[in-house]
Structure formats: structure tokens, C-alpha cells
Structure 1
Amino acid sequence: MANRAMSEDSVDRSEGFGERLLGLLLDRARLMPPQLIAPLIAEEVARIGGRDVSILLQDYAQELLVPLPGRQLHVSEPEPVDGSPAGRAFLRAQIVEVPQAHGVRMYLPLLDGSDQVGVMALTLDAVGDDDRRLLGRLAGLVADMLVTKNAYTDQFFLARRREPMSVSAEIQWSLLPPLTMSIPQVSVAGILEPAYRVAGDSLDYALNDNILHVAVIDAMGHGLDAAVMATVAIGAYRHARRVFVSLAEKYAFMDDAISRQFGPDHFVTAQLMHINIGTGELELVNAGHPAPLLIRDGRVVQQLESATTLPVGFGGEAPRIRQHMLQRGDRVVCYTDGIIEEHVDGGEPFGEERLIRCVNNLGEQPSEGTRADLRRLSHTLKRERGGRTSDDATLFMIEWHGSAADHLAVLD
């Protein structure tokens, strides 16, 4: 007992400078009104010699990083995601440092989990390893505060908007999970177009133990009717996911909800997946949706076909589940028909062959990560379609790494 007491007494519990700085933010976060986050962050940065603090949030189209207005924040013009230091920090989730005449401008990714919220920028006279460590942790706390406060203010929504948003898009964005997630075993990324007018497309996922649950849907029609149908479909999917286990039961529950609510003339196409992130085993149900693409070593090696089930809402029979086995580094890309049915010059649909060619061309370039690569693919496809997006067009990418995460639960 004496040795144990001595061991406990010898533990250093003193509060260092970094702990006091971060602890102040933690202590006040619970009661902090959203509009006071900016002044507190600016004050915290000033204590370590920083100045000209900016909080840059991604816009809904994932094209710009937009400065958050606020007292004591440095507000400048939006910065493009492509080709700017802030954009590099955002896409690569890495600190970027730019030497200037009177110091160093630092761009720190704001990561909530692994979802990139935006970037925090500030200037220091000089940067050392202690600065990088402390500011990296501060950026993580800032990201968590922004996400938490976002739930009960419109301030951050409004800062991210670059044009008016339709009511249907308002509904869809409120449904979505974070559009990126990355853990050692798997990463996902999604993008929806047109960002400010999307209606019937939606996606959802959840990681429960070792199973990644994924749904990508496309509700028939346009505008508010499609958004309402998508809302019911996603709500039914989430309810079934939290009650049932099998993909067949999820399909049946969604099918019943759509048919009861909207009648026999309405439907939703869907892809439902289970991916075991430990083994790479993938289970797929395709309910009238375009088949996902399997990408290996940067090239499409096959379309993940399965016995096509009737779309959700038509009262189809129990679906047959198709199994596939992923290899480490494999990517699966799901997409809605707005990608391939958009008419290009000459009046022909864009088509699957053009889509696959674009994927293969991008695969010849060095990867910058799941989110950056999917964003690049989306913008390439839009250019190839002449900049048009007359229907909802959704992409969702899953990359299976096959790594382990147990080491993260062990303190060094």
C-alpha cells in the first residue's frame, strides 16, 4: 500500500501553460453563446503571440472557404479550395505554413472527428514545434465548438451560403450525416449537386461496431415532393437500422413506409450496403439504382452487379443479397442517375462509359485522399457535362483500408 501511495503522489498533476489555455476554452464552451466563440478564440491565439485570426468554413458547393464574420476576427475575401494554402490545409487535413514579410501565416484544418469543418488561419512571428502542437489541439477544440453550437444557431449556415437555397435543399441538408469520415479501417466521402437546389437525392451511413451501414437513395420527381419522400425513406432506413440487422429487413421497412405514405405511384431507388470494416466483406442490395463502381489501383475493375430488386415503394419481394469481397485500398463509388442521364452536346446522355473514363483518368493522378479525390471527380464530371446539373447528382465514395484501430485506445 505504501508503494502504491508513493506512486500516486509522484504523478505530476500540475497545470501547464497549454493545459490552462485549452482548459479555459473547455470550461467556457458549455455556456458560450455562438457569437462569442470568435472573440474567445482570438483572445486564446493572442496569448501565444498570434494575430489576424480567421475562421474559414466550406461553402455548400465545396468550392470556397468562406470567412466567418465575428468580433476580433480577420475577415477577408473567400479563398478557393483549389490552389490556395487554406484549400491545401482543408483537403489534406494538414497544417500549412506560408512565410510572410512579418511572420508566418498558419492554416490549421478544423477537424470534427475526421470531418473537415473548415480552416483556422492566424499569423505568428515564428513557428516552433510547441506552437504546432498547441495550435493543432486548439483547432480541434474550435471545430468541436463550431459543430456543437451549429445545432442551435443559423450563424454558421448563413456564412457558408453563397446563393439562396431552395426549401427542398434546406430539408435535404438537414438530413445528411457528415459528408466525410475517416478512421484507420475505412473512409467515406459524399457530395451532392446542385448544392443549393438538391431535392430527391440523399445518403446516410453509420458505423456500428465493425459494420459500416450505407444507403444512397434517389426519390422520384423534383422539388419539395421529392424532398419529402426522401425524408421518409431516410427516416425509415435509420429506424430499421437501429432495430433490425439484415439488409432485407431494411429494404422491407423502407418499402412499407413509402407505399403507405405515398401510394403505389411513387417510388425511391436505393442502394443498401453492409461493409465489414475488419474483413472487407460487402453485402449489397440494389433497388433499381445504377450499379456501384469498384475501383482498384485507380481503375474501375467492375460494376458491382446484383439481382436488381424493385424500387422502394413498389411492394417487391424480399431482395436477394449479393456479396463481394474487397481488397485493401479498394474504393466503391455509388452514384445516382443524375450523373449519367444528364444530356451533353448532341443530346446524348452522359452515360456510364464516360463516367468510367473520367474515373480512370483521375486514377492516373496521385491520390490526395478520399474527400479530395471525390471532390475532384465531381467537378470533373460537371465540366464534362458542360457545367450542367439539371437533375440531382450525388456521388458517395467508400475506401476500405483494412487497418486496425485498437492502438488508439492505448495511452503511450
Structure 2
Amino acid sequence: MAEGERRLDKGVVDRSEGFGERLLGLLLDRARLLPPQLIAPLIAEEVAGIGGRDVSILLQDYAQELLVPLPGRKLHVGQPEPVTDSPAGRAFLRAAVVEVPQAGGSVRMYLPLLDGSDQVGVMALTLDAVDDDDRRLLGRLAGLVADLLVTKNAYTDQFFLVRRREPMSVSAEIQWGLLPPLTMSVPQVEVAGILEPAYRVAGDSFDYALNDNILHMAVIDAMGHGLDAAAMATVVIGAYRHARRVFVSLAEKYAFMDDAISQQFGPDHFVTAQLMQLNISTGEMELVNAGHPAPLLIRGGRVLRQLESATTLPVGFGGEAPRVREHTLQQGDRVLCYTDGIIEEHVAGGEPFGEERLIDCVNRLGEEPSEGLRADLRRLSHTLKRERGGRTSDDATLFMIEWHGGAADHFATME
């Protein structure tokens, strides 16, 4: 019997609140010094302590198509599971536990691994029977596993190699290392982003940060391909973060980025960009559009209009102060930002894909039930790729914001 485990008179494993606290406490005590390769065996042992078996940890691949099993001692390692149309995929996309009855009366549980609100992957396991104590304990365990995977990811290439399903270019390595989490969700606002082609992206990137009630966002597209574009993207995102962290205005952020590109790369290089600031309490948004296609405002699942702004030169071509446009969102509004690789890809007949086809795809998908921001954005990305004949010859980035408003102060009080 594992340390700290006790059984009830009827021989049933005790999964009460006190037992769960001891079990999670043991994991926390060991987490600080735990080598990355021992996460899997320890988790499998913890699950076995509550009567679970066949534990799998599934990580999302970079193309957001598969959930790939992490190898490790004591883990059940099967085939990758599709994000679409699988129990693991439903748990992942909906950020909700999925329970699948098995032959003989047991239950296969799929628990989303959430680091904050960013979906890391899914933990799957089998129990002979499931009650509310199991659900509570395993939900907390899944949260701790997600935190461990994210923390230890900085120490190892193991998790990266599991997620990589094909060779990755050097420029893509740089871009993926530059990105923040692909999703963020707090009660007032959600964001999600996706990059294509996942293994060859070079000049596209996005960044965001929530500082108090202001959500700062940037979507960029550096000219060219390969390492030159990746280098410019790295410099411009670095300049954006620096400006953001010294609390300058949106116009001054543009100037910081413009100076960095022009001084480092000269007058023949540029980066298109969208810079935004959203007050998550009021829905007031400021926008600077420096050479990008205008963002789309989506309300009730349909594109309402473009969020126009005065013309500002791409970053690196500056000189004049940018013009900041203000917009006010309504609760439930979504804002879709995209780079020109989405609409300039040539389709059958040689014509560009175009903005009208993009809007048509958004509206058609908006008629279907929403599965949440990240799932909806992923579905849009994959639909657009199919509509373009599977081609993504240039970087193609989507970044979406959904504003809810309200407050989150109740999370800071103990009930």
C-alpha cells in the first residue's frame, strides 16, 4: 500500500478530500527536484494510488492536429489521437473532462492539462468506477501535472521532440521559442493564436500581455522568408516587449519598434504590424495598423465590419507618428487579426484567396455551435487551409480576441 494511503472498511480506496491533499502534497514536495524524465513514472504511481491504470499523457503537436503520447516508464503509450473526433480531442478542445464507459464497467477518463488557461495536452487513465471524489482529485492532479510539464519544459527537449511530427526549420525553431502561450483566458477576455506552416514559419509572430486591466497585443509579419525574417521578428517583438514594460503609449510602442528595425536592418527592411490595447473592463480598444489587413469585428458569429484605422507605414519605414484609432467592443464581440498570407495565397485559377472568401468562411463557421475560442479558431484555420487547396506558401497567422467584460475580483477572496 502506498505511503499515506488508507482503505475504508469495505476495501474501497479512500479518495476523500484529506487523502487527496496528502497525495497532491507528496507530488508538490518532490516537484522542485524532479527530473523531467521522472514526471511520467511519478504521475503513474500517484494514479495507481487511487486505483487508476493505463495512464497516458498526450501533448499537442505543433500543427494542432494530433495529441501525441509522451513516452515514459509506467505510462501507457499508444498511437497519437486526432484532435478532431476523438475523446481526447474533445477534452482538449473543450477544456472539460470526458468520460468514456469501457467493457466490463470501467471508465476511461480524459482530463485536460491546463496551465492557466493554455491547453498543454490531456491526461488519460482508466478507473473501475468514478465518483465525485475521483473527479475532484483527478482534476486537481491534472492541473498540477500541467504545471509540472510547463515548468520542466524549460529544462529539456523531451517534450518538444514529442510534439514535433516532422522536421522543423531553424526559423520556425526561433519563432516557436518567441511565442507566448497560444491561448489565454480570464473571465473578462480570451485570446488565441495559430501559426502556419507550423514547421516552416519564419516572419510571422504575435505577442500579448495582461497588465492590470489592459490587454496589450501585437501581430507582426516580417518581410521575406527564412532566417532574415525570423531575425527581424525577434528584434521587433523584443522592442515591443521593452516598450510595453516601460509603460509607454501605443504610439510610442510603434516608435520603439520602428527605430529598432531601421537601426538594425537599414531602410530596405520592414515589418507590418497591428498593435492593440484593450481595456478588459470597459471594452475600449486602441488600434494602430501598420501595413496589415484590417482586423475583422465578429458579432453573433458573423463579420460585422472591418476595424479600419488611419494608414500607418510599416515598422522600419516610419518617421511620422502613427494615428491611433479607437473602437468600443460589445460583450461577446470577437476581433480577428490575420496576416496577408491568409488572403494572398493563390487558389485554383491563379487568383488570390481574398478577403471575401475569408469572411465567407468565418460566417459559415459562425452558424455552427461554438466550442470555445481556441477550438473555433483552430477550426477556422484548418477550414481556410482546405479552402486554399492545402497550400500555405507564405506565413499565415490568425489571432483572435473575445471580450466578455465584467470583473474577476471574486477569485481573490476565500469563500
- Supply the distance in 2 between the matched residues of 1:27 and 1:301 (Cα, whole angstroms): 52
Aligned to 1:166: 169
Counterpart for residue 43 of structure 1? 45
Displacement after TM superposition at 1:404 (Å): 1.6
Q: Distance in 2 between matches of 1:269 and 1:28?
A: 46
1:198 Cα deviation from its structure 2 partner = 0.2
Deviation, 1:245, is 2.5
One-letter amino acid of the structure 1 residue matched with residue 194 of structure 2: I
Which of 76, 80, 91 aligns to 2:93? It is: 91
Gaps of 5+ in 1: 1-14
8 A Cα contact 1:38 1:73, kept in partner? yes
* Number of the residue aligned with 2:67: 65
The one-letter code of the counterpart of 1:288 is G
**Residue in 1 that maps onto 2:192:** 189
1:234 is matched with which residue: 228, 231, 237?
A: 237
Task: Determine the structure 1 residue equivalent to 2:153.
Answer: 150
1:314 match: 317
TM-score (norm: length of structure 1): 0.96
- Secondary structure of 1:173's partner? helix
What are the superposed Cα offsets for residues 319-369 of structure 1, whole Å, 9 maximum, x if unpaired?
A: 010000000000000000000000000000000000000000010001110
Pick from 79, 82, 87 the counterpart of residue 80 of structure 1: 82
**SS at the partner of 2:322?**
coil
8 Å CA contact retained: 1:244, 1:250: no
Could you report, residue by residue, the CA deviation over 1:2-50 in whole angstroms, capped at 9, with x for unpaired residues?
xxxxxxxxxxxxx921111000110000000000000000000000000
The residue type equivalent to 1:28 in the other structure is R
C-alpha deviation, 1:154, in angstroms? 0.2
Where 1:215 maps in the other structure, the secondary structure is strand
Distance 2:81 2:350 in 1: 36
Tell me the secondary structure at the aligned position of residue 241 of structure 2.
helix
Alignment check: 8 A CA contact 1:53 1:122 kept: yes
Q: What's the counterpart of residue 34 of structure 1? A: 36
Confirm or deny that 1:115 pairs with 2:118: yes
Of 15, 19, 22, the match for 2:21: 19
| Partner amino acid, structure 1, of 2:375 | A
User: What residue in structure 1 maps to residue 260 of structure 2?
Assistant: 257
Matches of residues 239-318 of structure 1 in structure 2 within 5 Å? 239-318=242-321
* Aligned residue in 2 for 1:10: none
SS at match of 1:224: helix
Mapped partners of 2:187, 2:325: distance in 1:
26
Report the AA paired with residue 53 of structure 2. R
Residue equivalent to 2:13: none
Shift of 1:152: 1.0
Query: Which residue does the alignment assign to 1:11?
Result: none
Residue 373 of structure 2 is matched in structure 1 by: 370
Q: Give structure 1 regions of 4+ aligned residues with deviation exceeding 2 angstroms.
A: none
Q: Which amino acid aligns with 1:275?
A: L
Measured after TM superposition, the shift of residue 265 of structure 1 is 0.1
Q: Partners in 1 of 2:27 and 2:319 — Cα distance?
A: 54
The whole-number CA distance in structure 2 between the counterparts of 1:368 and 1:72 is 33
The Cα of 1:216 is off from its aligned counterpart by 0.1
Q: Distance in 2 between matches of 1:261 and 1:276?
A: 33
How far is 1:315 from its partner? 2.5
The match for 1:395 is 398
Give the percent of matched residue pairs that are identical in Structure 1 and Structure 2.
89
Work out the CA distance in 2 between the residues paired with 1:244 and 1:90.
Answer: 36
Aligned-pair CA distance for 1:308: 1.4
**Helix, strand or coil: the match of 2:194?**
strand
SS of residue in 2 equivalent to 1:130: helix
**Alignment partner of 1:327: what SS?**
coil
Unaligned runs of at least 5 residues, structure 2: 1-16
Cα distance in structure 2, aligned partners of 1:355 and 1:401: 24
Question: Counterpart of 2:232 in 1: which secondary structure?
Answer: helix
Question: Is 1:132–2:110 an aligned residue pair?
Answer: no
Q: Distance in 2 between matches of 1:344 and 1:27?
A: 56
Asked whether the 8 Å contact 1:330–1:400 carries over to 2, the reply is yes
Q: Whole-Å Cα distance in 2 between the matches of residues 369 and 345 of structure 1?
A: 32
* Residue in 2 that maps onto 1:53: 55
Name the CA distance, whole Å, in 2 between partners of 1:261 and 1:245: 22
- Alpha-carbon distance in 2 for matches of 1:138, 1:49: 14
- Contact 1:81–1:88 at 8 Å: present in 2 too? yes
Q: Verify the 8 A CA contact 1:309 1:316 in the aligned structure 2.
A: no
Counterpart secondary structure, 2:368: coil
**Counterpart AA for 1:241:** R
Match of 1:323 among 313, 326, 350: 326
Q: CA deviation at 1:410?
A: 1.2
Match of 2:207 in 1: 204
Match of 2:12 in 1: none
TM-score by length of structure 2 reads 0.95
Q: Which amino acid aligns with 1:266?
A: H
**1:286-339, Cα deviation, whole Å (9 max, x unpaired):** 001110000000100110000010000013300010000000000000000000
**2:87 is matched by which residue type in structure 1?**
P
